[in-house]
Structure 1
Amino acid sequence: MIKIDSQRLLNVRDYYYKEIYSTVSTCFHAATLGINPFTGKNLRTWFVTRTTGNLNESFLKILLTGTFDEIIAEIPEIEYYLLTCKFLHFSFEQVDAKLPGKKKADRISIRRAHVHKYSNPWLNKHTNAPDHRSFLSSNKNYSQFVHDVKADMDQLNALIAQIIDYSNISRGLRHELLHRIGIEVCPYCNRQYITSYKDGTAKKTTADLDHFYPNSIFKLLSLSLYNFVPSCQICNSRFKLAKGSEILYPYESGFDRDTYFDVALTPSSNSDSLIGGNTLFNIKLHQTHTGSRADQLEGSIRLFQLQEVYQSHKEYVRELLYKQYVYKDAYKKDLTALFDNMQLTEQEIQLFLYGHALQEDKLGNSPLSKLAFDIITRS
């Protein structure tokens, strides 16, 4: 929901690499890497230099602390890995969930569109295989096709896990990372505080270090800093898990003004519902964008059940509406005089009235700030 400033990750890059390098290096030297089933080449070529055959520390640093684009730029073939993982991860939402009740021609079109979306040489190895000539024609054939792709990916991920695996990061390092990244409110829901505290000398937090791309499928990214999203336990452990929903990537974008909260009247609403006199209304999330971003916006709303969980904040919205009504009406003159005497800025006035400064670039600083911003600025 709320965009995270990626500068936070830049600030911890060197620290994280220094802390994790020794463990990963030890795993590399103990690994017995085998053949990548998609290419027929030894996976070792990703991790060693061509000249010496030693661990390629430049690639390792980018893999652990670089952006996804930087990783692909270092080894372009990794884009095929990511596309194939996405094909598997999003297969239910983009294919299986759309098939019931469809005619055969429509089913074939849905499957074909999904395969085309993630088409790459690795996936094409299976689409061009003699055994899969009719893989789009039926559920049985398509399921076998997906099964065979997954079997190759499972084999490849087992090789990768010898070097890159989330179990290699200690609990202490996870909490230290969360503490250093410094996110104070869950970016997925904007409802729960992320609190850092000390238990004796150990730093701890109330958050999880979520894998944006699930560790179970995207094994190569299981230790990648840019795949870590600090989140509340409810969003990570109850809603997100490893479900195949296409959602916003918080280090690139948030809801912004493409999605906004509003008060939706119901048959039981009355005039007081609009000025904070009661809670006889619903809280509605509106999504105004189209295209691929629309899919990510809708996926985020659906995955984290934001439409449903925000209904528990009706009393909070009622208070905002009431404060806004009072400020605009009877007490505006007196309050304006008070604010002038106190020499408050516009942001300080908003903070005084509503508990939020209502600044778009600071919506991640306190819970429910996006809700407050939309209700106040759009009413």
Structure 2
Amino acid sequence: MIRIVIDKDQKEKIEKIYRRWFNKHLDSFKEVVDKDEKLKNIIFGENEYNEKDLLYFLLMDTESLKIVKEKCDVNNTIFLKEETIGYLTKRYENFRSSQAAKIVEELKILSCPYCNQIGMITYQKDGKRKFTGELDHYYSKSKYPELMICLYNLIPACRVCNGLKKEKNEKIINPYDISYKSNITFKTTFDDECKLDYLFGKSDHFKIEIDKNKLSDEDFNEIDLFHLEKRYEQSKNYAQEIILKSMAYDPIYNEKISKMFNENPEEKLNQYLYGYRDDHLKRSFSKFNQDIINEFKGRKE
């Protein structure tokens, strides 16, 4: 639902973290590749083993990941050796425990990109960085073990969403793919008999829904896979607070508060009053809050 947008500086930092970690395992990885023809072919094709192609493979962008995934599909009758899968699993587990928190911290991800409901934090314990979320394999590690430790196949996610995604094989967008923009938008619907109380944030006789007008197949798959509409139905208290504030704050008050902000005063004011950020990954429910205030801001005008 929320794309993970990485600037040039962040990309350099997280890939440096990854390379520093992987360099410790170069020798053992080469031994594994030399013994497994399928993995060798997937990574190097007809070329000989070389570190440049290996790092390119491990740090592939989302489009290249898709191409390699399709190559794996073509060769799905040829399996990696059990020893290879065991080795990659150990490398992944080591990366998850020792490096994931560092990556997430550099990306400043504080909320799950799949649901934007559940927060994820990093913290220090026993001299190591820890991470309260999980890493989802966008392409399943059970079906595509070849991609198990590719950096941009590992999506920081909450445990709820990671668990739900493991249950199904729905086609959704990789959050690292910034070429795609989610069209998922939340809105409220109400019972006409309760309209006045609803508009003043005094009634909970309304529903939280997702606008279905402009959704792609991938959007519908995300909604279904992560139960987004059902999960956000339970967020009426967030919507009520926004509705109440949208009616309570008059233009004079808004003008006084907006003077606190030097740049983009209206945008900053809305973030301050209604609890959302342009970078939704830095705050849980931020996307939902923004959608609801946009709905009621329009009604007031």
> Which category describes the TM-score, using the shorter chain as reference length?
0.7 to 0.9
Aligned AA for 1:166? T
Q: Which amino acid aligns with 2:240?
A: R
Quote how far apart the aligned CAs of 1:27 are: 3.2
Unaligned 5+ segments in structure 1 are: 37-42, 85-121, 124-148
- Equivalent residue in structure 2 for 1:173, among 82, 93, 99: 99
- Who is 1:60 aligned against? 54
**How much has 1:250 moved relative to structure 2?**
0.8
The residue aligned with 2:122 is 196
Q: How big is each residue's C-alpha offset from its partner over 1:9-58, in whole Å with a ceiling of 9 and x where there is no partner?
A: 4431122022123325313315563555xxxxxx544556968x5x3211
Q: Is the 8 A contact 2:261 2:268 kept in 1?
A: no
**Cα distance change of structure 1 residues 234 and 343 upon mapping to structure 2, 3 Å threshold:** closer
Q: 1:65, CA displacement in angstroms?
A: 1.4
Are 1:156 and 2:84 counterparts?
Answer: no
Report the Cα offset of residue 267 of structure 1. 7.4
Mapped to 2, the partners of 1:378 and 1:336 lie a distance apart of 18
Checking the alignment, whether the CA contact within 8 Å between 2:44 and 2:54 is kept in structure 1 is: no
Distance 1:186 1:376 in 2: 21
> Is the CA contact (8 Å cut-off) linking 1:326 and 1:332 kept in structure 2?
no
Report how far residue 4 of structure 1 moved: 0.7
Aligned letter for 1:250? P
Amino acid of the residue matched to residue 275 of structure 2?
A: G
**Distance in 2 (alpha carbons) for counterparts of 1:377 and 1:184:** 23
Cα 1:71–1:21 change in 2 (3 A) is farther
Q: Contact (CA 8 Å) 1:12, 1:180: kept in 2 or not?
A: yes
Deviation at 1:189, TM superposition (A): 0.6
1:347-375: per-residue Cα shift (whole Å, max 9, x none)?
Answer: 33213321235x3xx22221111111111
Q: CA deviation at 1:284?
A: 0.3
How many percent of aligned residue pairs carry the same amino acid?
A: 22
Distance 1:184 1:369 in 2: 11
Whether the 8 Å contact between 1:157 and 1:219 is mirrored in structure 2 is no
Equivalenced residues, count: 289
- Is 1:349 the counterpart of 2:282? The answer is no
* 2:294 is equivalent to residue 377 of structure 1: yes
1:234-263 deviations in whole A, cap 9, x for unaligned?
1113x1125201112111249857221000
2-side partners of 1:175 and 1:156: how far apart?
A: 29
Shift of the 162–363 alpha-carbon distance from structure 1 to 2, 3 Å rule, reads closer
Residue of structure 1 aligned with 2:245, choices 304, 319, 323: 323
- Partner of residue 217, structure 2: 295
Counterpart selection for 2:206 from 281, 289, 307: 281
**1:156 counterpart letter in structure 2:** L
Written as runs of structure 1 = structure 2, the 5 A alignment for 1:56-205 is 56-70=50-64, 78=68, 80-82=70-72, 84=73, 122=74, 152-153=77-78, 155-156=79-80, 158=82, 161=85, 165-169=88-92, 170=94, 171-205=97-131
CA apart distance, 1:269? 4.0
Q: Report the AA paired with residue 26 of structure 1.
A: S
Residues 1:2 and 1:29: Cα distance change in structure 2 (over 3 Å): same
Judged with a 3 Å threshold, the aligned counterparts in structure 2 of structure 1 residues 24 and 216 are, in CA distance, closer, same or farther, namely farther
Match of 2:299 in 1: none
Corresponding residue number in structure 2 for 1:339: 257
Alpha-carbon contact 1:3-1:250 (below 8 Å) kept: yes
Q: Counterpart amino acid of 2:140?
A: P
Contact 1:62 1:70 in 2 (8 A): no
Determine the C-alpha separation between the residues in 2 that align with 1:281 and 1:71: 43
Distance 2:32 2:258 in 1: 69
Superposed, 1:10-49 pairs within 5 Å as 10-30=12-32, 33-34=35-36, 36=38, 44-46=40-42
1:215 aligned onto 2:141: yes
